[in-house]
């Protein structure tokens, strides 16, 4: 979904009056959190999007985008309601630092209208296309380090999407749907484009068409685009063109309505780095079967590097930050003696090298940790090819758990991911006849699972763990470990009598 900086219409009442008019609240979400404003956001050709406005997230205090899909036929809307919900629930599960966040959706049906409203992250810093134009205008060239970092981030997002189960094909990757934040973080938008086209091409109000119809972006699309056999290789082709445009800043169209294959070839030949040239050429091969996967491209010689110990340590710290006291990094760095030796390299034939704490700037360290947390430096050399299930209906957020009563699930496929951390809360009713268990599980792919149920004194820990295996909430390998953890927690709880919180 193309999200650019809003274009403000000029009015006769002056800038101040215009700003007040555009910030006027026109509508609120049912929960009151999201407030739609009058100010419109240019969204490009995302199918079915009737309007996109700036909105305020009153909880976080940030701007977001309020998107609307209008349905012309209420009966069709009603018939497709389950399909619509399933699609949007899938989108809610997409979670990656280099993908524009999908916050919330709800359905709105009245006598006069039927619509779906969904809230997405607002990218105020502009698109990659806008950045490349400004860079070229200032007669500058693309920094190779920045090019590699951006390619890695885009591939990180594509690898995630393609490894979902079922795979998510973007289908609309151009320099207009890639965004750059002020800190250098790359984010991909319009992830829902292809889902919209496939889900309800005829039902939405207004003309539905793929982004390919824009002549200026035609060169981003693979030769097999739109055919029955197209797959995730179309995203690899689009990425290759994006990588080429990032390297040369602009592929010249020579006054034509669209960029020709000859212009793409000439742009590729102008690259001086042979590895960069080979990398891009492998992405834009005419035969889709010969294009590498996003995961494979992350290991190409032009991008691959052995991660520094500093980066590995930063990721370890960020991943386990919730286990550490607040501001622990700041407090720890304050306690160090600046002149103390942090590390030393000894040489037999010459003087050694000492690294002291004074050589490390706490401010630089804080900024580096923040960049790692935001996804600017992903650990892609450790990328897993294990599919990410999307979604598991019973892996509910706390918000959903408060409002949805889930029926007993049918047996599903076996869980293969391992549990790396467990945490549970136990609280009995006054009579002691039943205990409410809330179980938090952190999986090895960093996804979290939260489950809750009432257990009776006659229920055994082994039976509870076996049931979780049966319904594919945990792997069979973790059954004994979880049973032991629950048994120990229940013994402590029954011995103490009051509420209990345990961690493994």
Q: Which of 457, 395, 331 is nearest to 95 (CA)?
A: 395
Statement: residue 192 has pLDDT above 80: no
| Beta bridge partner(s), residue 354 | 344
Alpha carbon distances (Å) from 25 to 56, 65, 127, 150, 355: 9, 13, 27, 37, 56
Cα 500 to Cα 335: distance, rounded to the nearest angstrom = 35
Using a 10 angstrom Cβ sphere, with 0-12 exposed, 13-18 middle and 19 or more buried, the burial of residue 363 is exposed
Mean pLDDT of 476-487: 90
CB 166 within 8 A of CB 86: no
71 bridge partner residues:
114, 204
End-to-end CA distance of the chain: 42
State the Cα–Cα distance between residues 466 and 411, nearest whole angstrom.
12
Average of pLDDT values for 205-231? 69
| 277 — pLDDT class (breaks 50, 70, 90) | very high
Q: For residue range 433-469, what is the model confidence (pLDDT) as tens digits?
A: 778 888 888 888 777 777 878 888 888 888 888 888 8
Q: What is the pTM of this model?
A: 0.65
List the 49-57 sheet strands across, edge first: 25-28, 34-40, 49-57, 62-71, 114-121, 102-109
Using a pLDDT cut of 90, give the percent of the chain over it.
21
Tell me which residue of 337, 336, 326, 499 sits closest to 429, measured CA to CA. 499
What pLDDT score was predicted for residue 401? 36
pLDDT for 500 equals 60
Mean pLDDT over 153-178 rounds to: 90
**Residue 475 reports pLDDT greater than 50:** yes
User: Per-residue pLDDT averaged across 151-166, rounded?
Assistant: 91
Span of 345-359, 388-402, 425-439 with lowest mean pLDDT = 388-402
Average pLDDT value for the chain: 79
Per-residue model confidence (pLDDT) at position 66? 92
pLDDT of residue 392: 34
Q: Residues 385-420: pLDDT tens digits?
A: 444 544 433 233 333 333 333 333 444 467 888 888
């Amino acid at each position: 979904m193309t999200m650019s900086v809003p274009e403000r219409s000029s009015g006769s009442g002056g800038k101040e009056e215009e700003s007040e008019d555009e910030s006027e609240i026109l509508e609120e979400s049912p929960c009151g959190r999201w407030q739609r404003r009058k100010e419109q956001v240019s969204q490009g050709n995302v199918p079915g999007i009737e309007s996109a406005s700036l909105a305020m997230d009153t909880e976080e205090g940030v701007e977001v985008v309020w998107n609307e899909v209008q349905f012309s036929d209420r009966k069709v809307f009603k018939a497709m309601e389950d399909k619509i919900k399933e699609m949007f629930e899938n989108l809610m599960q997409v979670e990656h630092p280099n993908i524009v966040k999908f916050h919330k959706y709800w359905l709105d049906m009245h006598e006069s209208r039927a619509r779906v409203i969904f809230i997405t992250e607002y990218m105020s810093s502009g698109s990659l296309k806008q950045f490349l134009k400004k860079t070229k205008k200032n007669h500058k060239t693309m920094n190779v380090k920045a090019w590699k970092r951006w390619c890695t981030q885009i591939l990180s997002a594509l690898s995630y999407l393609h490894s979902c189960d079922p795979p998510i094909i973007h289908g609309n990757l151009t320099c207009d749907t890639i965004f750059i934040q002020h800190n250098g973080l790359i984010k991909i938008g319009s992830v829902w484009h292809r889902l919209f086209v496939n889900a309800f091409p005829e039902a939405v109000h207004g003309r539905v068409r793929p982004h390919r119809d824009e002549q200026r972006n035609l060169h981003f699309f693979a030769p097999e685009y739109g055919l029955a056999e197209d797959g995730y290789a179309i995203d690899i082709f689009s990425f290759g063109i994006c990588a080429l445009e990032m390297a040369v800043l602009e592929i010249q169209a020579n006054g034509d309505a669209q960029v020709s294959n000859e212009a793409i070839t000439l742009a590729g030949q102008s690259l001086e780095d042979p590895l960069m040239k080979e990398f891009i050429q492998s992405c834009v091969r005419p035969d889709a079967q010969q294009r590498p996967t996003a995961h494979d491209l992350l290991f190409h010689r032009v991008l691959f590097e052995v991660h520094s110990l500093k980066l590995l340590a930063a990721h370890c710290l960020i991943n386990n930050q919730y286990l550490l006291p607040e501001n622990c990094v700041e407090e720890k760095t304050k306690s160090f003696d600046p002149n103390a030796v942090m590390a030393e390299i000894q040489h037999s034939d010459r003087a050694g090298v000492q690294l002291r704490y004074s050589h490390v700037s706490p401010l630089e360290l804080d900024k580096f940790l923040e960049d790692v947390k935001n996804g600017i430096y992903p650990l892609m050399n450790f990328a897993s090819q294990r599919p990410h299930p999307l979604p598991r209906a019973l892996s509910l957020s706390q918000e959903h758990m408060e409002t949805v009563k889930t029926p007993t699930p049918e047996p599903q496929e076996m869980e293969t991911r391992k549990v790396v951390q467990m945490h549970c809360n136990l609280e009995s009713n006054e009579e002691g006849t039943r205990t409410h268990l809330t179980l938090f599980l952190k999986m090895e792919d960093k996804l979290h699972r939260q489950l809750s149920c009432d257990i009776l004194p006659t229920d055994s820990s082994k039976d509870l763990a076996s049931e979780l295996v049966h319904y594919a909430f945990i792997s069979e390998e973790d059954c004994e470990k979880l049973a032991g953890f629950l048994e120990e927690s229940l013994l402590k709880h029954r011995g103490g009598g009051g509420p209990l919180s345990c961690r493994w």
